[in-house]
Structure 1
Amino acid sequence: MIESLARRRQRIALIVLLLLVAATMLVSASWGYSSLGIKRVFPVLFGDGSRKEEFVLFSIRLPRIFITFLAGVGLALSGAILQRVTRNDLADPGIIGINTGAGLGVAVFFLYAPIEPGSFVYLLTLVAFASAMLTAVFIYLFSYRKGEGLNPVRLVLIGVGFSLSVSGIMTVIISSVADREKVDFIAKWQSGSIWGTDWVFIWALLPWLLLLIPFTLYKANQLNLLELSEPVAVGIGLPVQKERIWLLVAAVALAASSVSVTGGISFIGLMAPHIAKALVGPRNQLSLPIAMLIGGWLLLAADTIGRNLADPSGVPAGVVAAFIGAPYFVYLLLRRTAS
């Protein structure tokens, strides 16, 4: 009975979220500097539009919409994995420094790598992953204590420390570069302004999601067990360290590939898993798909609102997400310390 009720709640949540995502995509496609109008989106989509309308929709709006949604999905799933593996409700790839680590790799690669433009985007995701992975290894090593495992509070504090340190290194690197165009790009990336707005960025991100989403859903039961205390998980027969490492690698890859084409986005991976658990409960088989849709919708809505708030360039999606997510983080922190 409880199982069927949970499944029913998940189906209802999936339907509502899919409708919400579709409605937000429609608004995002029609709302902007060059307005299409909601009534014109479908005619243009099916070939009944002027050359200008087709250019606006297919070359500007749709790539950005899909990139933003897919990146939100990746960040939400990354945050969900981190929260389960570390048993820390405050874990988020942006808060604990993984996104910043990816950003350092992106900055160095963009500024100094002699690479052909045609392969730049595809290599960028690999560089971001390698840099984020190195950062995650250091955070993990500093947070882990033999006989105690991962301390959730220590993980957040060390992650925030790493994030600030890496941000300082990026500032030093930027200040030493004379090329204004490159400096503007890195500053834009740091603010979380969606910069990957062409179809090629979708093809760079999509393989990571197609590989890691099924992998994570397959590991949903292991995530359930990892949320238990470590002695209980070991007693059940789960190879805790092996599973934890593989899932952390997946979380880092999801976050790094997502932010490599969108910029430094935080708080999406924090909020989406919590909202999903509130809707359908803590069981990962039910909550992970909901969290992914919520993450995609949150980032899509943040970008749609942000790019239309101010002319000509708007407000970065990362700033809008932080405006919503930072108070939520403080709320979770206060609730955790109170308990």
Structure 2
Amino acid sequence: MASRSFYSFWSVMVVCALVIATAVYLSVTNGVFDISLLDVVKTLLRINPVPDYDLVIFEFRLPRIVLGLLVGYALGVAGAVVQGVTRNGLADPGILGINAGAGMMVVLFMFLLRGQLDMQGTLSVMAMPMFGLVGGLAAAGLILILARRGGKIDPQRLVLVGIAMSLGFGAATLYFSLKMNPQDFEMAVVWLSGSIYSANWRFVLAVLPWIILIPPLLWTRASKLDLLQLEDTSAISVGLAVERERLLLLIGSVALVAASVSVSGSIGFVGLIAPHMARRLVGLSHRYILPVSGVVGMAMVVVGDLIGKTVFAPAQLAVGIVISVIGVPYFVYLLIRARA
């Protein structure tokens, strides 16, 4: 069984890598200004560099692609952890209001410091994930408190409380947005829709340390996450500190979500769909689910961004909207299946 899961794991990783490579190739070479693959390779290897190609590839396309890959990976891993911690296949950082809590704090950051900091500057970009972390942790804490029934987390109550919290944080976000001047309001609205087309290398550097540090730490606790799928009494009987592990895992997932939201806005449904696909493809072991969820999330975001900028050209549709168009029917399907 283990060898079968191992084989499935590497098969899925190879297929996802091919999908990602294809999407990256199309994203780099196609657009308003088409560039051949040979010219892309020459530009990357600095062979007879052309200033126009340098500008398009290094300033516009590569930051957008790299940021999409990092955000997709973070959201996929975070979604798998949240579903594992809550033992609820319908749980998702976006549906549970964690995205909304992080987003509200980032918009509050924009609102309070408008005119004082360059929102594209290094200081602002580096500080926003910390504000997002505070909002995400606050949202997660409130949700876990309100979702308890009889001292245990009720899965159905968790989804209902999460939706209510998401609406509440969304209303607060809208209030702060409307208090902004028109220019800042427009920037906030575009950001909230889940967009990476304003990506730059500072955004990449802001989220990169979180991606490097947190997913490996979560992966080392994959066996603990497997034990959390048992009833609390059973997990405690085998020596697991249930509440501590649940808290640590939740903090890690919220940190990933906060970092992602701070640079790309709220991209929903990646954390819902990616873990479901991972479980279907590689089984129930979180040792395999976590990395596969991350890679599937990468593929979802980079393909969604490609669709948003090519299918609707010359207009561009935010990747968050593209993924939501796919995610909403999938969520309804999961609800119907859960009731059945």
Structure 1 length-normalised TM: 0.96
Q: CA deviation at 1:103?
A: 0.9
Match of 2:298 in 1: 296
Match of 2:171 in 1: 168
Aligned positions of 1:69-218 closer than 5 A: 69-113=69-113, 114-115=116-117, 117-147=121-151, 149-177=152-180, 179-194=181-196, 196-218=198-220
Match of 2:286 in 1: 284
Which SS does the other structure have where 1:166 is aligned? helix
Which SS does the other structure have where 2:281 is aligned? helix
Deviates more, 1:262-271 or 1:34-43: 34-43
Q: CA deviation at 1:201?
A: 0.9
Which SS does the other structure have where 1:213 is aligned? helix
* Residues 240-268 of structure 1: per-residue CA shift (max 9 Å, x gap): 00000010111111111011101110000
* Residues 268-293 of structure 1: per-residue CA shift (max 9 Å, x gap): 00011111111111111112111110
- Alignment partners' CA distance in 1, 2:110 and 2:72: 23
Change beyond 3 A, Cα 1:268–1:172: same
Q: Is 1:264 the counterpart of 2:266 in the alignment?
A: yes
Which SS does the other structure have where 2:230 is aligned? coil
Q: CA deviation at 1:196?
A: 4.9
Contact 2:73 2:294 (C-alpha < 8 Å) held by counterparts: yes
- Alignment partners' CA distance in 1, 2:106 and 2:167: 17
Match of 2:227 in 1: 225
Q: CA deviation at 1:319?
A: 0.4
Gapped regions of structure 1 (runs ≥ 5) = none
Match of 1:316 in 2: 318
Contact 1:195 1:263 (C-alpha < 8 Å) held by counterparts: no
- Alignment partners' CA distance in 2, 1:165 and 1:250: 24
Question: Which amino acid counterpart does residue 26 of structure 2 have in structure 1?
Answer: V
Question: Which amino acid counterpart does residue 164 of structure 1 have in structure 2?
Answer: L
Contact 1:26 1:41 (C-alpha < 8 Å) held by counterparts: no
Contact 1:192 1:264 (C-alpha < 8 Å) held by counterparts: yes
- Alignment partners' CA distance in 1, 2:247 and 2:315: 40
- Alignment partners' CA distance in 1, 2:179 and 2:313: 30
Q: CA deviation at 1:236?
A: 1.2
* Residues 40-77 of structure 1: per-residue CA shift (max 9 Å, x gap): 32222112341101110011100110001100000001
- Alignment partners' CA distance in 2, 1:47 and 1:234: 58
Q: CA deviation at 1:309?
A: 2.8
Change beyond 3 A, Cα 1:304–1:184: same
Q: CA deviation at 1:22?
A: 1.5
CA RMSD, Structure 1 to Structure 2 (Å)? 1.3
* Residues 120-173 of structure 1: per-residue CA shift (max 9 Å, x gap): 1000111111111111111111112343x1111111111110111111112222
- Alignment partners' CA distance in 2, 1:176 and 1:230: 46
Q: Is 1:247 the counterpart of 2:287 in the alignment?
A: no
- Alignment partners' CA distance in 2, 1:11 and 1:311: 36
Structure 2 length-normalised TM: 0.95
Which SS does the other structure have where 2:275 is aligned? helix
- Alignment partners' CA distance in 1, 2:50 and 2:281: 43
- Alignment partners' CA distance in 2, 1:16 and 1:169: 41
- Alignment partners' CA distance in 2, 1:85 and 1:212: 16
Gapped regions of structure 2 (runs ≥ 5) = none
Contact 1:101 1:166 (C-alpha < 8 Å) held by counterparts: yes
- Alignment partners' CA distance in 1, 2:210 and 2:268: 19
- Alignment partners' CA distance in 2, 1:313 and 1:118: 29
Question: Which amino acid counterpart does residue 18 of structure 1 have in structure 2?
Answer: A
Aligned residues: 335
Q: CA deviation at 1:87?
A: 0.4
- Alignment partners' CA distance in 1, 2:38 and 2:95: 40
Identity within the alignment, %: 35
- Alignment partners' CA distance in 2, 1:200 and 1:175: 27
